[in-house]
Amino acid sequence: MKITIETIGDNISVNIKAPEGTSRADVSATMSLALASTVASVIPADAPSAARMKAASSLADMIATAVKQNFLEVVTGKAGKAAVFTDKEAAFLSKLMGL
């Protein structure tokens, strides 16, 4: 699976290329793990285990709050427009935009 996220003007474009039969749940799980991995990378690997867990728990709470807020803004239209393109649409738009 390949997920490309980019900002185009004021909009966010998410292009997903995945094998046929890939579920939205699989895409969501992949994006969630990518977010978790990115955020977790800021916690020093050599920090004591208790400190790592405390930092991880605090970061997880902040991320959960931010994701919920973002979700609500997308659902209510307050976040502006977001576009998700999969497979053929993504390939066509990539070719069209010279990406």
For residues 44 and 21, what is the distance between their CA atoms, to the nearest angstrom? 38
pLDDT at 50 over 90: yes
For 48-65, what is the mean pLDDT?
A: 92
- Whether the pTM exceeds 0.85: the reply is no
Give the contacts of 57 (CB within 8 A, at least 6 positions apart).
none
Query: Pick from 95, 69, 93, 87: which is nearest to 8 by CA?
Result: 93
> What is the predicted pLDDT for the residue at 65?
92
> What is the predicted pLDDT for the residue at 71?
84
| Enclosing H/E stretch for 83 | strand 82-86
Q: Residue 6: left (phi > 0), alpha (psi -120 to 50), or beta?
A: beta
Residue pLDDT, tens place only, 5-43 = 888 877 778 888 888 889 889 988 998 999 889 888 889
